[in-house]
Amino acid sequence: MLLMAELGLWPNAGQGSQGGAKPWSGGHRRGALRLAVEVAARLCARGSHRRPQGNVRMGNRVIAGVAGAMLLVAAGSASAQPAAPPPPTAPFAIPNPTYATMVLEVAVARPAEAVWRRVGKFCDIGEWMRTSCAITSGSDSQLGAVRKLGLGVTEMLVGKTDRSYTYAQPVRAGVPYNAYHGTLEVKPVTASTSKLVYSFFYDTSMLADDAARATESANRRARFTQALQNMKVLAEGGTLPPAP
């Protein structure tokens, strides 16, 4: 304290210990490290100006030791402050999800690039799912595109590569969100053949029981297996039969 008072860095240096300020308490502790740095700088400046030439080296070592000790004390004081508790996280909207996945595929006797040109646009689904499709926002097959299908189904293109895209469905008021995502992709097998892969991820916890989940899974598998067969026919140059 006397050293810092002499350097002009201790507030109320002329007062006694009773009633004097306590610079290491309260808000002053937050500036402890900054104060120590200032003390070290002034000590070094003072030592280089006041000491005789023959004692400069030894004096500087002493000053450096004192300054280093003060920095360690200040750093310890600063690190001793209790960390603020993290803010509470909001509860999950679906506390106990039951995630389901499904991967379907079909072999195609055409190169991957040709297959994707024929059935890989975002609104090509209208042809191979036998439904209506309209792009209501963005550009077809571009990231962020939104398509509206028959029965009011809306889907957004949320990810894409040269030969794949992933889509999701928006949250609807009053309807539990099932985190549904679908990905359609074509993979090369040889230079002249490929395979179409359709994968799904979604939550089934809102269904009544395991029997309802099994029924949903079977219906989805049948519906999209037929969609893949339709894509295969189209990609190989065929024509779909009339819709039933």
Q: What is the per-residue pLDDT for 130?
A: 97
Residue found by looking up tokens 């689904």 in the block? 125
Q: In 3D, which of 178, 181, 221, 177 has the Cα closest to residue 203?
A: 178
Long-range contact set of residues 235-242: C-beta below 8 Å, sequence gap at least 24: 235/108, 235/110, 235/114, 235/115, 235/118, 235/119, 235/196, 236/108, 236/109, 236/110, 237/110, 240/127, 240/128, 240/130
Three-class SS of residue 176?
coil
Answer whether 0.85 is exceeded by the pTM.
no
Query: What is the C-alpha to C-alpha distance for residues 93 and 173, in angstroms, rounded to an integer?
Result: 13
Q: What is the per-residue pLDDT for 12?
A: 52
Could you tell me if 8 and 23 are in contact, meaning their C-beta atoms sit under 8 angstroms apart? no
Q: What is the per-residue pLDDT for 35?
A: 58
Q: What is the per-residue pLDDT for 165?
A: 99
Q: What is the per-residue pLDDT for 10?
A: 53
Q: What is the per-residue pLDDT for 77?
A: 55
211 burial level (CB within 10 Å; 0-12, 13-18, 19+): exposed
Per-residue pLDDT of the chain (244 residues; tens, 9 = 90+): 545 555 555 555 445 444 444 444 445 555 555 655 565 556 556 655 555 555 555 555 545 555 555 555 555 555 567 889 999 999 998 999 999 999 999 999 999 999 999 999 999 999 999 999 999 999 999 999 999 999 999 999 999 999 999 999 999 999 999 999 999 999 999 999 999 999 999 999 999 999 999 999 999 999 999 999 999 999 999 999 988 8
Q: Cα 97 to the chain's mean position, in Å?
A: 20
Q: What is the per-residue pLDDT for 82?
A: 84
